Structures are given as C-alpha cells and as structure tokens.
Amino acid sequence: AQSVTQPDIHITVSEGASLELRCNYSYGATPYLFWYVQSPGQGLQLLLKYFSGDTLVQGIKGFEAEFKRSQSSFNLRKPSVHWTDAAEYFCAVGEDTNAGKSTFGDGTTLTVKP
Amino acid sequence: GAGVSQSPSNKVTEKGKDVELRCDPISGHTALYWYRQSLGQGLEFLIYFQGNSAPDKSGLPSDRFSAERTGGSVSTLTIQRTQQEDSAVYLCASSFRRDNHEQFFGPGTRLTVL
C-alpha cells in the first residue's frame, strides 16, 4: 500500500528566508505526486504536481518541488517566504491507475515570523 | 458553479443521530472523493466514485458510514448513529479523469458530535 511521510509537523521560518518542506513516499510503481496548501478556514489548493518528465516541477505562488526517485522524496521549496505562505501543507501520492485515489501525509504547519 | 461546494458548512449533532453531508462537484468532473480530516491530522480517504463504476468504499471506517452519488453528480455522505469520534471536517473533491488525477477540493463540512 502507498504511504506518505511528512517528517516535520511544524516549521517556523522568517519572512524572506528560504523554505524546504520534506516529503517521503512509499509506492511500488511510478508515483503521481502532489503538494497541496490549506490556509486557515480554506479548502485545499493544489500547488504543484509531478507525473513524469522533468523532475523539478514549478507550481503556483513561487513554489517548486523536486522528485528524487532514489530517495523516494518529493520536497517542496520556496526561495523567499512571504507571510501569506503561513498555512498547512500536504504532500500526497496518487495511484498509478485511472482510479486517481490519493494518499495524504499528515501535513506540515508553516509559521512565518515577521 | 465555479468550484466544488459542500453543505452544510457546519453541523452540530447529538450522539446517536444520523447526519447527511452534501457535495456538489464541478460540472463535468467524473470522479468524486470523500475524505475526513480530524484535528491535527492529514486527510483520511473514505470513498471514491468514478463514473458509473462501483464505488471504492475501502476507506469507510464502519458500516455506519455510507455514500451515494446520484446521476453521476451530487453526492451525499451519510453517517448513522453518530459517535463523538466522528467529529471532523469532511472534505469532498472532484476531478476530471483525463486530467491526470488533479483533485479540486470543496471547503468542507465541520461536523461536531456532542
């Protein structure tokens, strides 16, 4: 069965600093990988996704993520964090079938210090 | 509508009562998912509908939980004889199958069982 681990429950960074959120997955076949963001009181919004091809994917709001098959990782990065980035971030892995069911990690809460 | 809608946004009920949660997916989306998000937790998959296929009910936690999707559009998640541990945010998502599994989430229904 597929699984997703987000090792960091809570991360605090200063505004303007760089950010990296870790995600490790377990899946036997080619994974479909996603990062979602959930702002307080909001639904989940897709930041970016990886299906195949270039292992460095660009997303919205200046985020990017790199797929590393050898490390079973899909870490999310942003070079300069803004206070509006404070939210909860979820990594997810989707089945390599047409079913599309995704397994989500437990999330990482990002706090941004002024 | 422009996005996935869910109703009610909040539901408070007494232990032992039945509740119904509604989801209106994005028009044209053939796949519909229900997830549960408990406080401080990630998303727990509940059930998945794809077109006219039999739903994937593998995530339903007990036989008190059921869901249906009428006419390939609106879905209702029913919880019978609610328990306090059912308190959570219930999220619905839909996707257009050919769009490689990207899921669009609704704002959720916050269920509180007293």
pLDDT in tens, B45-55: 899 888 888 88
pLDDT above 80 for A28: no
Q: Is the pLDDT of residue A98 over 60?
A: no
Please give the average per-residue pLDDT across B19-25, as a whole number.
97
Q: What whole-number distance in Å separates Cα of residue B32 and Cα of residue A59?
A: 24
Quote the longest CA-to-CA distance of chain B: 42
Q: From the list A44, A101, A105, which residue is nearest B48 (CB)?
A: A101
B67 located within any domain = yes
Contacting residues of B for A98, CB less than 8 Å apart: 50, 97
Tell me the nearest-neighbour CA distance from A37 into chain B, angstroms: 11
Please state, in angstroms and rounded to a whole number, the distance separating the CA atoms of residues B106 and A70. 35
User: Which CATH number is B25's domain given?
Assistant: 2.60.40.10
Report the residue of A8, A44, A48 to disrupt the B interface, i.e. the one with the largest count of B CBs within 10 Å: A44
Answer yes or no: is pLDDT of A103 > 90: no
Collect all residues of chain B within an 8 Å Cβ-Cβ radius of residue A90: 42-43
pLDDT band at B1 (very low <50, low <70, confident <90, very high): low
Domain limits for position A69? 3-113
Residue B50 near chain A (CB below 8 Å): yes
A99 part of contact set with chain B, CB < 8 Å: yes
A73: pLDDT strictly greater than 60: yes
Any chain A CB within 8 A of the CB of B42? yes
pLDDT given for residue B2 in this prediction: 77
| Residue A43 to residue B105, Cβ atoms within 8 A | yes
Q: Is residue B112 part of a domain?
A: no
Average pLDDT over residues A18-29: 90
The mean pLDDT of B3-10, rounded to a whole number, is 94
Q: What is the pLDDT of residue A97?
A: 60
The predicted structure's pLDDT at residue A30: 74
Distance (Å, rounded) from C-alpha A37 to C-alpha A20? 14
pLDDT in tens, B26-38: 998 888 999 999 8
Count of structural domains, chain A: 1
Name the average pLDDT for chain A.
Answer: 90
CA B113 to chain centre: 17
What's the domain range around B82?
5-107
Total domain count, chain B: 1
How many CB pairs (< 8 A) connect A and B? 59
Which are the contacts of B88, defined by CB distance < 8 A and separation ≥ 6? B36, B37, B38, B39, B110, B111
Average pLDDT over residues A85-96: 89
In a domain, B113, yes or no: no
8 Å CB contact of A32 and B97: no
CATH code, domain with A45 = 2.60.40.10
Answer for the pair A18, A64: CB distance below 8 angstroms, yes or no: no
Strands (E), chain B: 5-7, 10-13, 19-24, 31-37, 43-50, 65-69, 75-79, 88-95, 104-105, 109-113
pLDDT (tens digit per residue) in B53-105? 888 898 999 999 999 998 878 999 999 999 999 999 999 999 886 555 678 89
Identify the pLDDT of residue B76.
97
Residue A69 DSSP code = G
